[in-house]
C-alpha cells in the first residue's frame, strides 16, 4: 500500500499566515497525480505538510488530516514520515552543493546496507550516464538538469513508496523538462511508485499523470482526470492560453462555477 489522503487541511505560518485553507486531495497506490497552480497557491506548503517539514518553515497544521498508508501523519516529524515511505524532493533542487555526486548519493543511502546501496547506485548510474560521468564533481557545479537527475537518484536510494516532487521543471529548457518527465514516468512505472507531481508547467505534467488538482490561494479549485483538465476551457486558458493576467479567478467562466470554491 502506498497511498496518501489529505482531508480539509489548513496550514498556518508563523501563527498568522493561512497558507492552506482546507485542501483535500488523494493519490492511490501506484497513481500519478499533479498539483497545478500559480505562485503562492499553496502547492509547496502542501508538499512540506505531507513531508512533515512544516516546523522547518515555522508552519503548522491548524486543522484537517494527512493520512499516509492508513496512518495519520498530521503531526509526525519528517523522519517518521520518511519511515512511512514518503520521500519529498523539495523545490529549488536541494542537493548538497559542496558534496560530490557520489557523496550526495551516499548521504541519501544512509539507511541501506552496502550491498543494497551498490545495487541501487549502479542502477542510477545506468539510468543517468551523465551523473556517472560527473560522479566526482561537486553537486553545485552540475547543470540544472543534472541536479534534477541526481535528486531523483538520491530519492531512489531512500527506497520510497510515495514520491513527491516539487517543481522539477523549474529553470529547465523544454527539452530537459521533457527528459525529466520521461524519467519520472519511467521510474514510477518500474518501481510502482505513487507520484505526486507539483508543477506550474501544466503541459509537461499532463503527459505523465492520471489526475490533476488545480490550486489557487490555498484552495483546490479544480479536480479531475488529466483528460478532463485538458478539456476544461478554464484550466487550458489559464495554463496554456497565457492571456489571463489576474490568475485563475479571472478566467472567463470561473466566477460562474461556484462549485469550485
Partner 1 sequence: MDFSLVVQTILNGLANGALYAVIASGFVLVYRATSVVNFAIAEFMLIGAYLTYTMSLFFPLLVALLLALPLAFAFGVLVERGFVRPLLGRNVVAVIMATIGLAATLDGTALILWGPDQKAMGAADISQLPKEMPNLAFNMGGVFLSSKAVWSLILALPLAILLVTLLKYSRYGILLRAVSESETAALAMGINAPRVVAVAWGISAMMAAIGGAFLAGAAGGGGPGHHLVLLGLIVFPVAILGGFDSVPGAVVAGLLIGLIEAFSQLYLESFLPGITQAIPFLIVLLVLLFRPYGLFGQHRIERV
Q: Which of 65, 106, 127, 219 binds partner 1 (CB under 8 A)?
A: 106
C-alpha distances out from residue 228 to 136, 151, 223, 241, Å: 45, 31, 9, 16
Taking every pair of C-alpha atoms in the chain, what is the biggest distance, in angstroms? 59
Cβ 37 vs Cβ 75: under 8 Å: no
- Least distance to partner 1 from the beta carbon of 103, Å? 5
Kindly identify the residues of this chain, within the stretch 55-74, that bind partner 1 according to CB under 8 A: 56-57
String of contacts with partner 1 for each residue 12-51, x by CB under 8 A: ---------------------------------------x
Cβ 205 vs Cβ 130: under 8 Å: no
Strands (E), the chain: 4-13, 17-27, 32-36, 59-68, 71-72, 86-89, 162-166, 194-199, 211-216, 219-225
Contact region with partner 1 (CB under 8 A), list: 104-112, 121-129, 189-197, 239-247? 104-112
- Least distance to partner 1 from the beta carbon of 69, Å? 15
89 binds partner 1 (CB under 8 A): yes
Kind and range of the H or E run holding 104: helix 101-108
97 binds partner 1 (CB under 8 A): yes
Binding site for partner 1 (CB under 8 A): 51-53, 56-57, 78-79, 82-83, 87-90, 94-99, 103-104, 106-108, 110-111, 138, 140-141, 144, 154-155, 158
Amino acid at each position: 500500500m502506498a497511498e496518501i489522503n489529505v482531508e480539509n487541511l489548513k496550514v498556518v505560518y508563523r501563527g498568522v499566515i493561512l497558507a492552506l485553507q482546507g485542501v483535500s486531495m488523494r493519490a492511490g497506490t501506484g497513481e500519478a497525480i499533479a498539483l497545478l497552480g500559480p505562485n503562492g497557491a499553496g502547492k509547496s506548503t502542501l508538499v512540506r505538510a505531507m513531508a512533515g517539514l512544516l516546523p522547518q518553515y515555522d508552519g503548522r497544521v491548524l486543522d484537517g488530516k494527512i493520512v499516509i498508508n492508513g496512518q495519520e501523519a498530521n503531526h509526525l516529524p519528517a523522519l517518521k514520515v520518511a519511515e512511512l515511505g514518503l520521500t519529498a524532493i523539495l523545490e529549488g533542487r536541494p542537493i548538497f552543493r559542496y558534496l560530490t555526486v557520489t557523496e550526495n548519493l551516499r548521504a541519501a543511502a544512509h539507511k541501506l546496507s552496502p550491498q543494497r546501496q551498490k545495487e541501487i547506485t549502479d542502477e542510477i548510474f545506468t539510468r543517468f550516464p551523465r551523473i556517472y560521468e560527473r560522479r566526482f564533481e561537486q553537486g553545485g557545479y552540475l547543470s540544472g538538469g543534472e541536479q534534477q537527475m541526481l535528486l531523483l537518484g538520491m530519492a531512489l536510494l531512500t527506497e520510497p513508496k510515495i514520491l513527491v516532487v516539487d517543481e522539477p521543471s523549474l529553470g529547465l529548457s523544454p527539452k530537459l523538462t521533457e527528459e525529466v518527465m520521461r524519467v519520472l514516468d519511467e521510474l514510477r512505472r518500474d518501481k510502482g511508485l505513487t507520484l505526486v507531481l507539483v508543477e506550474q508547467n501544466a503541459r509537461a505534467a499532463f503527459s505523465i499523470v492520471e489526475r490533476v488538482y488545480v490550486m489557487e490561494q490555498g484552495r483546490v479549485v479544480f479536480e479531475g482526470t488529466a483528460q478532463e483538465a485538458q478539456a476544461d476551457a478554464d484550466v487550458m486558458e489559464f495554463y496554456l492560453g497565457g492571456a489571463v493576467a489576474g490568475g485563475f479567478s479571472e478566467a472567463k467562466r470561473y466566477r460562474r462555477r461556484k462549485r469550485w470554491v
